[in-house]
A and B are shown apart, each in its own frame.
Chain A
Amino acid sequence: MKVMAAPPETAILQVDDLSVCFETSRGSVQAVSGVSFAMAKGEVYALVGESGCGKSTTALAVMRLVPPPGRIRRGHIRLGDEDLLALSDEAMADVRGRRLAMIFQNPLVSLNPVYRAGSQIEEAISLDSVPRPVAWRRAIEVLGRVRIGDPAERALRYPHELSGGMRQRVMTGMMISRTPDLLIADEPTTALDVTIQARILDLLMDLCSHSGMALLIITHDLGIVAEIADRVGVMYAGSLVEQAPVYELYEDPLHPYTRMLMRALPRLGKGQGRLETIPGSVPDLIALPAGCAFHPRCPERLAICASQTPVSRVVGGGRTVACHRGEVDR
């Protein structure tokens, strides 16, 4: 397991100071504000946080698929040596699928209902101007690679004839069929039952370790994170509040929000009684509280938290944290 933060020269993905906002009639929704992180080749990076914390929007911004009225307001996204935000729409469409791919939350509706499973992968492969018969053969190979039994037969099935887990495999197959450098998985297992979840996660990890593909996984499930991630970024109200290698994060969470998140995690055999919850609720992204966005819910807040936004600091071992507390302590 890699524990180092990716140095810029080997980074496959580098996101700097990314801000995304949605202009609505009520005002500007600041969905992502000043998020920076980097991923190395083959690394599994997990973005975690509550619903609406901006993790999916961050992923969509990397794909440049933020739906209108959303807009990338600031920042840089580099994939290898390419500046994604500077590309034309056509050039970006060419990057998608070929170097950068994404699997979505709901496998039940992520496949085109009118085409056979194999045809959809064939279509993806033929985007590289591969002749159709060759693409069809490769599609069957891909189905084998995502561990679908009897791929030649399953390739002829329509999506409604396949189970949810099977459909998520077909989806994964479609996305890895052109061997992208980075695969983004937005809650890939949320709609699946637990045993299927484990198999899909296992498959994703395997694909990464075999092909050197990096995986950016978006989830709210800390169990999944512990299972597959190398590094974790914790998001709250559009900001990345803490980043750390997965082991360190679980052992010694630095940000008060991360600590509370950990305590809200059910553990087997501890007899801890009622689960802890985080009091309060996620702030309105149109009118973020002044200073640190978490301070109204933070049990450890200081006077400065209400007035000044904490800046993300490197705290050694590839960790960053955005909290005033640490500044005072150290």
Chain B
Amino acid sequence: MASTGGTRPPRRSPMRVWPLVRVALGNGQLVVGAILLLVVLLIAVFAESLAPRAYDAMDLTNRLRAPGPGMLLGTDQFGRDTLSRIIYGSRIALRVGLIVVVIEGVLGVSLGLLAGYYGGLADRMISFLTDITWALPPIVLALAIVTVLGPGLNNVMIAIALVSWAGYARLIRSKAQGLKNMPFVEAARALGESDLSIMFRYILPNTFGLIVVVASLSLPGAILSTTALSFLGLGSQPPAPDWGVILSEGIRFLYDAPFLSIFPGLALVWTVLGFTLLGEGLRDILDPRMKA
């Protein structure tokens, strides 16, 4: 690499990215997961051009039609095109997954950092909270929170985040406990760095690999839980093309029109599988020690 004199370095040189890409391509799980997700992502982005009809366009002459030409995945009891609804639903699924993971990640990582770095009373209090959250069945707790907040997709996302941050907190706490005794943290103290600076500049960046892995592994769970709450009627409200909503509407016609439940279910499986494979692949290449 050429000498760059006195200028600031680029954030990341291509030299370091290429080997990573090569390692990533060598990991089967990662590649398959990424392909599955790429499909979902493309569908979500180009929903308008891909969907044959609007997700809420009713056609009362074509109700509960079986899959066939013109309506590839059939229609529901209002004659809405299931394919279009599933296509638009991918947007909701991805958005929900990302938002939930960001909220629970910020919550869990900050609490885990505080507990791990300071120890003592802060650690005992945060760990107590973590253990309680961990011990309660997540869907039941989320149900209780949504009951308090009121139904709606936003409240469901908040509820799911509030019940699932504990995993992040635990992992980051133990990682921070190990890192805070590393000589480079002691060196930072010897340099006169403040606690806050040590937490965010020295400890947090060293947990990024872990955070990426935990986040991608908890994404499918987040999507599944919100879909479950929407299925129960607490999340997205009809006519939103949420996969959970489509499933719960289809369940009434399970004998006459099973395709109404099967296809959104398959879409869900596809997406969740994609994230799970991606997460496990990332875990393998980013943190080999975490391999189960």
Tell me the A residues contacting B by CB distance below 8 Å.
63, 65, 90, 93-98, 101-106, 109-116, 118-119, 123-124, 127, 132-133, 136-137, 140, 150, 152-153, 155-156, 171, 174-175
Contacts and interface: CB of A to CB of B under 8 A. Distances in A.
A97 B6 contact: no
B206 A113 contact: yes
Given A118-B9, A137-B6, A97 B184 contact: no
A132 B8 contact: yes
B121 to A, nearest CB: 14
B191 A96 contact: yes
A208 B115 CA distance: 41
A113 B184 contact: yes
B180 to A, nearest CB: 10
A271 to B, nearest CB: 41
B193 A93 contact: yes
Contact of A93 (B3, B6, B184, B194): B194
Contacts of B9: 116, 118-119, 155-156
B288 interface: no
A110 B185 CA distance: 8
A118 B4 CA distance: 12
A156 B1 contact: yes
Contacts of A106: 183
A65 B206 CA distance: 22
Interface string B179-210: 00011101111111110000001100110100
A175 B190 contact: yes
Nearest to B13: A156
B206 to A, nearest CB: 6
Contacts of B6: 133, 136-137, 140, 152
Contacts, number: 90
Contact of B182 (A97, A102, A109, A174): A109
Interface of B: 1, 3-9, 13, 182-184, 186-194, 201-202, 205-206, 208
Task: Tell which of B183, B187, B188, B189 has the most Cβ of chain A within 10 Å.
Answer: B187
A153 B3 contact: yes
Contacts of A123: 191, 201
11 contacts: A63-B190, A93-B192, A93-B193, A96-B191, A102-B187, A109-B182, A113-B184, A114-B206, A123-B201, A153-B3, A175-B187
Given A101-B191, A102-B190, A133-B8, 10 more contacts: A97-B191, A98-B192, A101-B190, A104-B187, A112-B206, A113-B184, A127-B191, A127-B193, A136-B6, A174-B187
Going nearest first, the 5 A-B pairs with the smallest beta carbon separation are A97-B192, A96-B192, A97-B191, A102-B190, A137-B6
B190 A94 contact: no
Contacts of B186: 65, 104, 110
A62 to B, nearest CB: 11
A96 B188 CA distance: 10
A104 B183 contact: yes
Nearest to A124: B191
Nearest to B202: A112
Contacts of A137: 6
Nearest to A109: B183
B3 A112 contact: no
A132 B188 CA distance: 18
Nearest to A139: B6
Contact of A152 (B4, B187, B191): B4
